[in-house]
Amino acid sequence: MSDTTNTNSSGSISTTRRRSSRPRKPKKNMIPIGLAVALVFVIIGILLAQRSAMLGFFWMTGIAFGFVLQRARFCFTASMRDPYLTGGTSLTRAVLIAFALTTIGFAAIKYGYFAKGLPIPGMSYVVPISLATIVGAFMFGIGMVIAGGCASGTLMRVGEGFMMQVLALVFFVVGSLWGAHDFEFWKYFFISKGKAVFLPDVFGWTGAVFVQLLLIAVLYVVALKWEQKKSNE
């Protein structure tokens, strides 16, 4: 920045500050690098597919899913944390929309098996609900906030090079293995003490979908109102 001194007609001295403009450094074209990386991913996928078709499928879908997560900044932790920290609920509402879509999709798949008299897939995930569920959810929520991400968010940020998330991933794996080792103990003494609830058994298939979508809709409206309230404060 330079100063220019001028004398006007009345004899007073005025100083004009002139900003020196430097040309901005042109941004590096990342398209060739992106295409090269994509080509490497495809080659690896082809090599894996030659060993096992499922390996190739898992590789390509994993890359695609990771790309979508990274670009969308999708994270379950942020969806629960942001309303309290920033007042924003865009991610919260995105998660609720995802829940609504999967509710319809999975209900259709399960009902299709039920209507044909076949075993309903995924019934092993219908587990008892008890105090252990509440305590576990509370502990997991605290851990997610401290670590700065859930499982998907942690993996996404590891790919971005965040060292904190690498540390979180290491202990995520350690905790998962430890939990798997002691799971039978917790299942026998705590988890099995609750009651399993399968909504179609309570409300019927149509009623179960309606009740769940209604609850999601209520939460969506509450999230929207919360963001509007915080933005007006």
pLDDT band at 132 (very low <50, low <70, confident <90, very high): confident
Q: What is the pTM of this model?
A: 0.69
pLDDT value of residue 114: 93
Q: What is the pLDDT of residues 205-225, one digit of tens each?
A: 999 999 999 999 999 999 999
pLDDT value of residue 21: 58
Both ends of the chain: CA-CA distance in Å? 40
pLDDT over 70 (residue 7): no
CA dihedral (220, 223, 228, 231) in degrees, to 10, reads -150
Output the DSSP codes for 74-107: --HHHHHHHHHHT---HHHHHHHHHHHHHHHHHH
3-state secondary structure of 39: helix
pLDDT band at 109 (very low <50, low <70, confident <90, very high): very high
**Any idea which of 5-9, 91-95, 114-118, 120-124 has the lowest mean pLDDT?**
5-9
Mean pLDDT of the chain: 83
Does 67 or 13 have the greater pLDDT score? 67
Strands 195-196 and 128-129: antiparallel
Give which of 155, 84, 85, 95 is closest to 147, Cα–Cα: 155
Alpha-helix runs per DSSP H in the chain = 31-51, 53-72, 76-85, 90-115, 131-147, 151-160, 163-181, 183-189, 199-232
The percent of residues in the chain predicted with pLDDT above 70, rounded, is 90
Q: How many CA atoms lie within 13 A of 208 on its CB side?
A: 16
**Residue ranges per structural domain of the chain:** 33-72, 75-126+197-233, 129-194
